[in-house]
Each structure stands twice: as structure tokens, then as C-alpha cells.
Structure 1
């Protein structure tokens, strides 16, 4: 996948610099008078919107120093510094002298801020080459951007969706965001199999029941990075081994800190308080149960779920940090082979990029949602982090198609697979279990498409346990609609799970 970055041009040259340095070897940086006033939050958002509406991927590295500094100020004065001698040097455990590099940079920040190192440093990541600091001066941001030791400087807590009058916030509903509703399933949307489990209509479109004769996901562990799992749903808890699902495990963790204060560190636990994560876990690996509820794709796979965020839009420090921590934890877990995340943002976040690259470098097969929203589907392509080359981007399409996206789904050149998740006549989406015990619901968008694809990957890997990530992915591609010629907006199209496990 080709990563597109749009430069952001501004009216005037931002900085002028003297040729001299101080007695400690630091450049003396002078900010032009015309650039000393910070941009407003709305001005920052407008610049981001211009990039997104032009069909480009916004990254802070393409913004001016003034814009980055302004966003830092608007986000509790907190910045994330990714360091390393090269762009790919993200792993602290594999970086010689990582602590010394960090110390040099913290000392430099303290110099420009006129403070002690203890006053500027808030957090240092144990696995990744990044740390969080308090910054007030634009000179500090410019000095960091000039340093050969710095991979990126980004605002750590700029909340795009909190800016007044935003027109781009995703819908919050059972199809694409949070919701606790239950719904009686239309009998046309499922078939029943032993021991009384309901097979969602979309599974038959992808030949998943036929694939179960060869593989049910046994021995494979899927990690779900989302909003957690419901404590009220025993089929994702004490009854995870129900019906035809046996001998497997589910583990639940929490990395999200529910606080307005960036320095807070106490998470609010593994339990879903949104509903979205419960639905994603269900689709990927719910039991082939005896309770008349929908079955998951890989109903004998192990599951590890993370409450990494409060909702599907990763806006703000604690959500982004929670996702990063979930990916590094799953990367460090040798049992995990597949990671699925159906959340994202409209612009890149360096710490999440580093967490995903860390997990990918440890052999994990990562699936991310291409994007689901009603308010900006018409002009936003694939969202972050699905556009990253380290992940497999998935989106949803309408029944009987591989190139007609669902009403709220995004498409784009980064998409690799599609899943039929919206019925052509009724518009119904995919049956799942509800947040509450013994109740059912529907879920849609690229979110459910991603979790479904992760489940199919578990079926393929379970059938071929000695394979690596690339072999599994190659087999999935070979079974799909457009192989070997990739569609410009929908990748390889719909996977045939039965062919993929042959």
C-alpha cells in the first residue's frame, strides 16, 4: 500500500534561526513575530479537514511547526516524542542506548522550556521508543523537529472531535458505534445448526459453515482490541465453552484509563461500557451454543479481549494510549496470532503506529476496519490505522456484491478484503448476541466485516498451524473474488472460507 501524505502550506515562513549556539551546543531559535500567536482549535481542525476532504491521509509530520505546537497547547500541553536513529527504530528492546537517546532529548526539552527534566517528562514507554512530555514553547517543537534523534513530534491529547461545530463525528449507533439495544432477529437472517445455534446469513455468503468441516479455529488465539466485553454476557465469559465449543479460553484485560487527566494511570477494567467490543468478540469467536443465539466464525478459537478505548473513535490521550498498550501487550503474548481492531481515527497517531509495528514485528496478523460513518463516508477514504502497510484493511459490502460498499462503509486503495454484511432487500446487517444475556442484536459496517475476516483467518491458520502470517494471508487472497488482480477500491474482494481452508 502506498502511503499518501499531503503537505500543508501556510502563508509565511514560520521560523528564522540565528547561526550561533549557546554554550551547551543548542541552537538559538527565534520565532518570527507573525507566527508567534497559536492557532485556534477550529483553525487546526480546518487544516486537517482540508487534507481529509482532498482524499489524503493527514499526518502531523506534514503540518507546520506552528500548527503542531498549537495542537500541543490545545491538548493539555502534552506531546509525544518518538525517537530513534532511523524511521523504523521503534522498538526500545532492540535499540542500543535507547535510554541515553531519551535522556539527551529530555535534557534538550528541559533546556528550551527553561525547566528541569523532572518537570517536563510525564511518561516513558517500556517497550517503544517514545515518551510523553509537557511543552509550552514553539522553540522546543522546532528544536525537536530538527533533531536527527527524533522520528516524530506530535500533540498527545488534541481532541479533534471535541472541537466545536464538527461535522465529521461518526454516528453513535448499534451499527457503527456504541449501543446496548437488543433486537429480535428476522428468521430470514439466519439458519439453525446443532446444538441450537443460529448461523448468520453472511456466513453462508462466505462459505463459512462449509469451512467448519475442515476447521473451527481450534488452537488459534485471536486478540480483540476494542471497548471490552460485556460482564452480562456469559457466552463471552463463564460459558465460553458451551455447546459444540470446547477446550478453549477467553481472557479479558483493560488498558483504557477513564480520566480527563493525562497523568492518571488506573484503568477502568476489562468490561465493555459501550457494546461495540462485545459485538466484535461475538462475531469472531462466540460459541456454537445451545441457546438459540448466533455463532461466531471461529467458534473453537481462544479469545483475548482488551478494553482499550471508551468508543470507536480514538480521540484523546487515554484512548490512543490504551490502544498502543493493548497492541504491545498482544505483541508480547506468544500465544496470540491474530489481532482485530474495529476502531480508528481520521488522522495518524504516532504511538498507535509504533504499537502496531511492534506487534507486526512479532509475527501477528493484524486486521483493521476501513471505516464506518454516515456523516463523512462520502469524502473520507480508508481511516487510520487501516491505511498502514502493516495491517490488513477490511470493509463491508452489500449482499451479493464485492464492489458495492454498505451504506455507511468506507472504501479505498488500501482495502484488501470485503465482507457482505448488509442485506439487499431489508438492509439488515449481521446477527450477533446482545450485550445482555440470552438476547440478540444486529451489527454492521466495516467493524463487523473486520471481525469476520479475523475469524476466517483463524480457520485457515488452525488448519495449517505450522504456517506463518504471510502464508495464511496468501491463502485467503487466493480464495477471494478478484484474485490475482486486485480491485482498486475493494482489494481482493470477498473471501471464500471453504476454499481458504482446503
Structure 2
């Protein structure tokens, strides 16, 4: 899906082939391969990655607003010529109805792009976002960046098509994905009614089974933004989500991820999980409590609205970033959705997602985000975006030892709000068991991802017990039920949540 730019020499050789081969694949490669004469001096991918690494090493973060015009333009060139522009006044992240001033600002921005790029806007050069004040444009010329760089009404400029940073850390596009079933050690779960329903060992660490005497999440709708939910797992689809002790609820699946080499494409890839990660998160939060001998979800009577917004957990692709922002605005617009869970992220802030988080937050959604689970890409870094935002509730995993220690693959830091136990002391227990990708399968999965989904499920229990509460009241109740409250630990926030205390 992610293709590098071809060198100009290859394009010149291919030009003679153009007249005979005007097929779609050739046109696609030709458009992605154009590098103008002025772009020969653009920084290389290695040079750009070195700049990013220097910032991450020195400050723990990186922001495109801190680079100069030439560096930004170089990243746009190396990122399929996609420039994402946040427009409006500072802090004006979204507008459900665009004012005349906003419309005028956008028009001025697009006119600068057209004048310098020499094209008339169309579906292949300009993509507007709904609600958030963001537009994506095709940019090839450095002069365009220069004129936009300090223009009033431009909040940020980002090369949202630049997806090459992970190459230096050998990350794979399949980060967090697993569709394989596994043998589950009976020591890692207990059984309850009806007839062998399985409760993960880590639920007991937070008194979740006891909390079910007060609330099961009924009437609350959780929004999941992830890789979708597997069509092959009936217990998370309409055919099986109402079974046993789970009843009167619904599951809905949508897709905002576009799998295409054309950045402006609207060819959505559907709602179904192809990775396995989203299915595991859905299981943790809302798997039914029935007699199938399968893992039960925390809020087994909650409704679930799942969005396939990403290909995997790493938000390193233009279509993933756009997919997540679209899912956030869609869930923000739903009055029935109370909670949003996102076990996905990236090392630094992404403007269009940041704007969409702010919109969903303004609509009263309680947004949980994973603090980070180490892969070859993120290992060694602190809390990741969007868990770094004040509008989200950041969660990570710890072990069950007497002294707080993060789980082997979990991130920690001052941005963390809550922790969930994900492994035994000295890694003596495996991760929690969840429903597998296929019918009848189970598997293990953990890290800050499952910790986040678990916390979202506990929040659903609290909100179901107090359906008239606001998100602030629910969040305060979670804080009050956590181990360190009223204090906040510098690495683990308020600490482990007691679900029983939270619902009493």
C-alpha cells in the first residue's frame, strides 16, 4: 500500500511507455513519481528521519511546526506530495457550521495553493474534512509552503503522507496484528454461569466480577476506533452478541479506512477487521456472557459501535490518520455514544486527529487512549499520542507485584491517568485471554491496548449505574476508586481502578 517515490531517471525512461500503456496502474505510479527540478534538493528520507530522531532524543517529542520551510517541503515531497492544512484562528479546531470568516480563510489558502501549483482544484488535488477545520492539498512547489508558512489563518502545516519514519526502527505495517488462535491455560481464567463462561484472571484483580452485581453496562454505547471487528467472530456480530446473560443490545460496524495508493480516493475498505487487534479490544469491552465457554467482556450488556479506521495500531499512514479523524467526528455526532476507546497511536501529535479529538470531547464523550505498547517502532518512548492530550484519558498496563511496575511492553509517564494489571510479577502470567478472530477461537493479548479497553468497559459499568451523569462525574468516580487517589503518581496516574468501588 505504501510505495516509495521513484527517481526522475526512472520516470524519464517510463515516459516512452506512457503512450502505449495508459492503464490505471501506470497512471498511478506516474502521479506518485513526479519530482520537479527544484525538488532535486529536497532532503532525503534519511536526512528527514535524522531530524525527527534528534528531536525525539532531546525532547521526547516531535512537531512539524518546529521545522523550517525547506524541511517541511521535503517531507511533503517524500510523502506523496500531500500537505495537510489546519486553518482558522488558533485553537479553532472545528466548526459544525462554517462562518463566512472561516470560508474566506479557506478560500484564501486554496487560492495560494492554486496560484503556486498551477492547477484548478478538483477531487485529485483538494480533499476537505467534515467538521474539523482541515484541508488536504497536493503540493509540489517550495514557494507554496513559503507563502503558507506564516499566513494568518493557518494553524498548522503537516506532511500527512510522510510515512517513512518507521523504516529506521524496522517497524512493520502489521503492528499489533494477530489473527491466530491459541491454547489458553485454565489457570488464566475462572468460570461462572451460565455454564463455563470464562472470566479473565485480570478481571479479578480489579473486582470486575463483583461489580457485575451492580451494573453490566446495560444502556450504554461504547465507540471503538481500531482495525474493526472480525466478520468471522459471531459473538461480536449481530448474530451472537445477544446470548445468555447478554440481551437487549446492539453492535454496529462502520469503515472509514481507505486502502488505496490514491490519497484522494474515497474507496472505503469496509467495516470488517483484517488485523485482529480491533476484535480483541471489542472482546475485552463487550463480549457476551453466555454458555459457549468463551471469554466475557467487562461490560457484557453494553452496546458497541465499532469503526475500522486503521490498518493496524500504528497511525503512520495518510488514510489511517484521515480514517481516525473521520471516526471521531462521526462518533462525536452520536448522542447515544458515551465512551470512545482508542488503543492506537503514534509517537507525535497528528493535527487532523488532534482536532477531531477536541470535537468529540466537546460533545461530552469520555475518550480513553492507550499510553503505548512497545513494538520495534515505539520501544523506548514515553506516552504516545493521542494519550498525551488533555482531552483523553491515558491508560497503561502494570504487573501484579506489590510495587508498581509497568508491564514488559507498556509505556508509562506523567500523562498516564489509570493503570490496569496486564501480567504477573516478573512476567509470570500471560496476557489476558480474549475472543479470537475466528469462530470458536481464543487468544492472549495485553499491553496498554487491553488496559485501555478494560478501563473503557469499567467506565461503561459506572455510567450504566448512573445514566444521568456527565463524563466529568464518571471520570471523577473512576479517580476516586483508584489506588493513589487523591494523589497522582508521576508514572502511573491514579493507579489501578477498583471496579466494585466505582459502581457502589
Does the alignment reach a TM-score above 0.5?
A: yes
Counterpart in 2 of 1:144? 148
Q: Which runs of 5+ in 2 are unaligned?
A: 1-37
Q: Give the Cα separation in 2 of the matches to 1:341 and 1:457.
A: 14
Q: Give the Cα separation in 1 of the matches to 2:120 and 2:403.
A: 58
Counterpart in 2 of 1:230? 230
Partner secondary structure for residue 97 of structure 1: helix
- Give the CA deviation at 1:389: 1.0
Which of 444, 447, 471 is the matching residue for 2:446?
444
Q: 1:258-311 deviations in whole A, cap 9, x for unaligned? A: 111102111111110000000000001110121011100000000000110111
Counterpart in 2 of 1:67? 71
Partner secondary structure for residue 456 of structure 1: helix
Q: Give the Cα separation in 2 of the matches to 1:383 and 1:420.
A: 19
- Give the CA deviation at 1:96: 4.6
Q: Give the Cα separation in 2 of the matches to 1:161 and 1:378.
A: 14
Partner secondary structure for residue 352 of structure 2: helix
Q: 1:388-429 deviations in whole A, cap 9, x for unaligned? A: 111011111112457211111111110000100112353300
**Structure 1 stretch 109-118 or stretch 324-333: which is displaced more?**
109-118
State whether residues 400 and 420 of structure 1, in contact with CA within 8 Å, keep that contact through their aligned partners in structure 2: no
CA pair 439-133 structure 1, distance change in 2 beyond 3 A:
same
**Structure 1 stretch 134-143 or stretch 372-381: which is displaced more?**
372-381
- Give the CA deviation at 1:91: 2.4
Q: Which runs of 5+ in 1 are unaligned?
A: 1-33
Q: Give the Cα separation in 2 of the matches to 1:171 and 1:486.
A: 35
2:498 paired with 1:496: yes
Counterpart in 2 of 1:7? none
Partner secondary structure for residue 393 of structure 1: strand
- Give the CA deviation at 1:97: 3.5
Q: Give the Cα separation in 1 of the matches to 2:381 and 2:327.
A: 26
Q: 1:462-496 deviations in whole A, cap 9, x for unaligned? A: 11111101110011001101111100011001000
Q: Give the Cα separation in 2 of the matches to 1:335 and 1:357.
A: 18
State how 1:34-113 maps to structure 2 within 5 Å: 37-93=41-97, 95-113=99-117
Counterpart in 2 of 1:453? 455
CA pair 119-229 structure 1, distance change in 2 beyond 3 A:
closer
CA pair 197-55 structure 1, distance change in 2 beyond 3 A:
farther
Q: 1:12-33 deviations in whole A, cap 9, x for unaligned? A: xxxxxxxxxxxxxxxxxxxxxx
Counterpart in 2 of 1:473? 475
- Give the CA deviation at 1:128: 1.4
CA pair 118-258 structure 1, distance change in 2 beyond 3 A:
closer
Q: Give the Cα separation in 1 of the matches to 2:218 and 2:170.
A: 41
Query: How many residue pairs align between the two structures?
Result: 464
Q: Give the Cα separation in 1 of the matches to 2:83 and 2:403.
A: 42
Q: 1:315-364 deviations in whole A, cap 9, x for unaligned? A: 11111111111111101111100000111111211111111111111110
Per residue, is there more helix in 1 or in 2? 2
State how 1:342-421 maps to structure 2 within 5 Å: 342-375=343-376, 379-400=380-401, 403-421=404-422
CA pair 455-316 structure 1, distance change in 2 beyond 3 A:
same
Counterpart in 2 of 1:193? 192
CA pair 96-484 structure 1, distance change in 2 beyond 3 A:
farther
Q: Give the Cα separation in 2 of the matches to 1:321 and 1:201.
A: 37
Q: 1:236-278 deviations in whole A, cap 9, x for unaligned? A: 0111011100000000001111111102111111110000000
Q: Give the Cα separation in 2 of the matches to 1:75 and 1:92.
A: 30
Partner secondary structure for residue 81 of structure 1: strand
Q: 1:146-179 deviations in whole A, cap 9, x for unaligned? A: 111111111121003464xx1262795xxx7101
Partner secondary structure for residue 389 of structure 1: coil
Counterpart in 2 of 1:339? 340
Counterpart in 2 of 1:124? 128
- Give the CA deviation at 1:62: 1.3
- Give the CA deviation at 1:68: 1.0
Counterpart in 1 of 2:16? none
Q: 1:172-196 deviations in whole A, cap 9, x for unaligned? A: 5xxx710111112111111101102
Counterpart in 2 of 1:17? none
Counterpart in 1 of 2:177? 178
Partner secondary structure for residue 318 of structure 1: helix
CA pair 35-320 structure 1, distance change in 2 beyond 3 A:
closer
- Give the CA deviation at 1:460: 0.6
- Give the CA deviation at 1:439: 1.6
Partner secondary structure for residue 73 of structure 1: helix
CA pair 91-57 structure 1, distance change in 2 beyond 3 A:
farther
State whether residues 76 and 162 of structure 2, in contact with CA within 8 Å, keep that contact through their aligned partners in structure 1: yes
**Structure 1 stretch 384-393 or stretch 421-430: which is displaced more?**
421-430
Q: 1:422-450 deviations in whole A, cap 9, x for unaligned? A: 12353300010111111211111100000
Q: Give the Cα separation in 2 of the matches to 1:262 and 1:62.
A: 25
State whether residues 58 and 347 of structure 1, in contact with CA within 8 Å, keep that contact through their aligned partners in structure 2: yes
Partner secondary structure for residue 417 of structure 2: strand
Partner secondary structure for residue 184 of structure 1: coil
